[in-house]
Amino acid sequence: MTSAPARAARHGRAVPFFVVPFGVLFTLFYLLPIGYAIVQSLYKVERTGTFGPAREVFGGLVQYERVFADGAFWTSIGRVLAFGVVQVPVMLGLALLLALLLDSGLVRGRRFFRLAFFVPYAVPGVIAAIMWGFLYSPNLSPLKPVTSAIDFLSADLVLWAIANVVTWVYVGYNMLIIYSALLAIPAEVYEAARLDGAGQWRIAWSIKIPLVMPAIVLTTVFSIIGTLQLLAEPQVFRSFSSAVSSTYTPNLTVYSTSSIPNFNLAAAFSVVLALTTFVLSFVFLRFTNRKGVQ
Amino acid sequence: MSVTTSAPAGGAAGKIQESLFSRTGAMLVMAVSTLYFLTPIWWLFVGAGKRSDEFTSTNPLWFADFELFANIGDLLEYRDGVFLRWLLNSILYTGGAALIGTVLAAMCGYALAKYRFRGRELLFNVVLSGVLVPATALALPLFLLFSKVDATNTFWAVFLPSLVNPFGVYLARIYATAGVPDELLDAARIDGSGEVRTFFKVATRLMFPALVTIFLFHFVAVWNNFLLPLIMLSDERLFPVTLGLYTWNTQVNQIPELRGLVIVGALLSITPLVIAFLALQRFWRNGLGAGAVK
C-alpha cells in the first residue's frame, strides 16, 4: 500500500498532459494579447516633421489621458449603460416570467413553447440584426402601419430598436437557465407552503424566485458583460440608420480607432473598457453576495 | 349545517375560478411571446421564397410565387459560389474549434478537479478571471500579434484563438468534481489503466452530457464572434458566413439584388443550427441546470 501523497505524486505525472495543451493556448491567445494591449497602450507614434518616418516611443499615460478626454467615448459608455439598465431587467424579467409560467403547471404544450422561445438563440447577432433591420424598414415590414407611423431607425429610437434585437435573441436562453434551476428544486419544498394555503403566485414569489437567485445573478453578470461588448448589432444597424455613428458603442470606438489606424489609442480604449467590464461585474457580484448573506 | 358546508364549496369554486383565470392569463402570455419570437423567423422563411420585385408589393407574412429553390440556386451561383465556401468556413471555424476546444477544456477542468498539484488554485483563478475578459478586448491585440508574424488574413488567425474556452474549463471542473467519483478512478488504476486512458475511456463517458453543454456554449460563442474575423480577414474566401452576409448587407444600397440574397442566405445559414439546437436541447437543459445550481 503506498501512502496517499505518494500515490497522488505518481498520478500527478499525468497532470502536464491534461493541463499543458489548454495552458499553452490560453497563454498565447489570452494572457499574451492582454499583456500586449497594456504595453501597446503605453506607447505613442512619433514622426519627425510632418512626413517623416513614424516610430514608436514610450508615451507613459498619454493615451489614457486622451481616452479620458474623449467625450465621444464616455458618451458611448453612458449610452450602453442606459441600454443595459433598461434592456437587462426587461430581458431577464421576461425570461423569469416565462420560466415561472412554464414551471407553474398552468401551461399546456410546455415542450413546444420551450422550443419556440429558444429558437432565436440559434440566430447569431449579426444575422438577427440584419433581419430586424429589414423588419424595421417601412417598405418591407410586416408591421407597416406601425413602422410608417414610428421611425424605429431614428436617432431617438434606434438604441431601443437594437435593445429589442438583443432581447429577442437572448430571452429564451436566459429563460432556459432559470427554468433548469426551477426544475432542480425538489418538490417537497413546495409541500409545506401548499399546506399553509399558499397559491401559485405566493409560492413563485416567496420560494421559487429566492431559490433561483443564483441563476438570475449568473445571467445578469453575463448580460452586463454582453451589454458593454455591444458591437455586431450596432455595426449592422449602421447600414440601416445614419443615426448610428462609428463611435456609437465603446467597442465600435475601439474598432474604428484601430482602423484609422491608431493602435496605441485603440489599445488604451480596450484596456479601459475591459477594466470597466471587470469592475461592473465585480461590483454587481459583491452587491448581490452581501444581500444574500443578510 | 348548510352554512358550514357551503363555505368550503364556495372557496373551491373561487379556487377553480382563480385557476381558470390564471390559466387563461398564462396561455395568453405564452401565445403573445410565441408570436414575438417566431414571427421574424416566419417572415424570413416567407421572404426567402419571393422574387425581389415582390418584397414590397406583396404581403410580408404570406407567400407570393414560391421561388425558394430558384433563389437558393441564384445564391449558390453568385460570385462563383462564394456562399458555399462561407458555409464550409463556418463549419470549420465553429465546429472544429468547438470540438477541439471542448476536449482541451475538459482535460484541463478534469485535472483541476481530480489531481492536487502545485499552482492548481492559481491556474484555476487565472482561468476563471479569463471568463470575464470580453472577447472583443482580445481581438485587437490578437490582430497586432498576428500581424507581427505575418499571419493575419489566414484561416489560423481566426481558428487558433477560437480554441480557447476558459468558461468550459470552469464548467468541466464543476462537472468532473460532481460527476466522476474518485473511487471509480482508483478502481481503474487498480485494474492497471493509465491516467490518460482512464480519462478518455471512463471520465469522458460520465461527463458526456456536460461535454455536450460545453460544446454548445463554445459553438455559440465562436459562431457569434464577429469582431475577430472582421478584424483579421480581408480575403472574402476566408469569411465565415456571418461576416459574408454582413458585407453583402452593407452593399445593398449600391446593389439592390443583394437584398434578396441576404435574406435567402440568412435563412440557409440558420436552418441547420436551429435544427441542431432543437435536437440537442435536452442536453442543454440538463447541463445548464447543473451549472446554475452548482
Q: CATH number of the domain at A254, please.
A: 1.10.3720.10
CATH node for B87-289:
1.10.3720.10
Q: Provide the shortest C-alpha distance from residue A154 to chain B (in Å).
A: 18
B291: pLDDT strictly greater than 80: no
- Nearest CB to B226 within list A98, A114, A126: A126
Per-residue pLDDT at A138:
81
pLDDT band at B15 (very low <50, low <70, confident <90, very high): low
Residue B111 pLDDT more than 80? Answer: yes
A212-230 pLDDT, tens digit each: 998 899 899 889 888 988 9
User: What's the rounded mean pLDDT across residues B61-83?
Assistant: 85
**Which residues are CB-neighbours of B119 under 8 A, at least 6 positions away?**
none
Q: Least CA distance to B281: which residue of chain A?
A: A115
Give the total number of structural domains in chain A.
1
User: How does residue B3 score in pLDDT terms, banded at 50, 70 and 90?
Assistant: very low
**Residue A71 falls inside a structural domain:** yes
A53 in a structural domain: no
The verdict on a CB contact (< 8 Å) between B107 and A131 is no
**Beta-carbon separation of A30 and B223 below 8 A:** no
pLDDT surpasses 90 at A87:
yes
Q: Is residue A156 part of a domain?
A: yes
| A113 with B30: Cβ contact below 8 A | yes
CB distance from B159 to chain A under 8 Å?
no
The CA distance from A63 to A81, in Å, is 23
| Short-list B186, B208, B190, B107, CA closest to A14 | B107
> Which distant-in-sequence residues (6+ apart) come within 8 Å of A99 by Cβ?
A175, A176, A178, A179, A182, A212
Per the domain annotation, does A205 fall within a domain? Answer: yes
pLDDT digits (tens, 9 = 90+) for A124-136: 999 999 999 999 9
Q: Residue A29 falls within a domain, yes or no?
A: no
Asked if the structure places residue A145 within a domain, the reply is yes
In a domain, A45, yes or no: no
Mean pLDDT, to the nearest integer, of B100-122? 95
Q: How far is B2 from chain A (nearest CA, A)?
A: 24
B17 touches chain A (CB under 8 A): no
Closest CA to A269 of A222, A231, A223: A231
**Residues of chain B neighbouring A197 (CB-CB closer than 8 A):** none
Type of residue found at A159? L
The pLDDT-based confidence of B4 (bands split at 50, 70, 90) is: very low
Q: Does B104 touch chain A (CB under 8 A)?
A: yes
User: Phi then psi for B75, rounded to 5 degrees?
Assistant: -60, -45
Question: How does the average pLDDT of chain A come out, rounded?
Answer: 88
Smallest CA-to-CA distance from B158 within B230, B237, B221 is with B230
Partner-chain contact A200 B22, CB within 8 Å: yes
Q: For chain B, give the mean pLDDT.
A: 86
Per-residue DSSP letter, A58 = E
Question: Nearest 5°: CA angle at B51, between B47 and B57?
Answer: 75
Q: What is the pTM of this model?
A: 0.88
Subunit contact B220:A12, Cβ cutoff 8 A = no
Q: Quick one: cell of B104?
A: 482541451
Residues contacting residue A134 through CB under 8 Å, at least 6 positions apart = A140, A141, B47, B259, B263
pLDDT at B119 over 80: yes
User: Which residue range(s) make up the domain with A102?
Assistant: 61-290
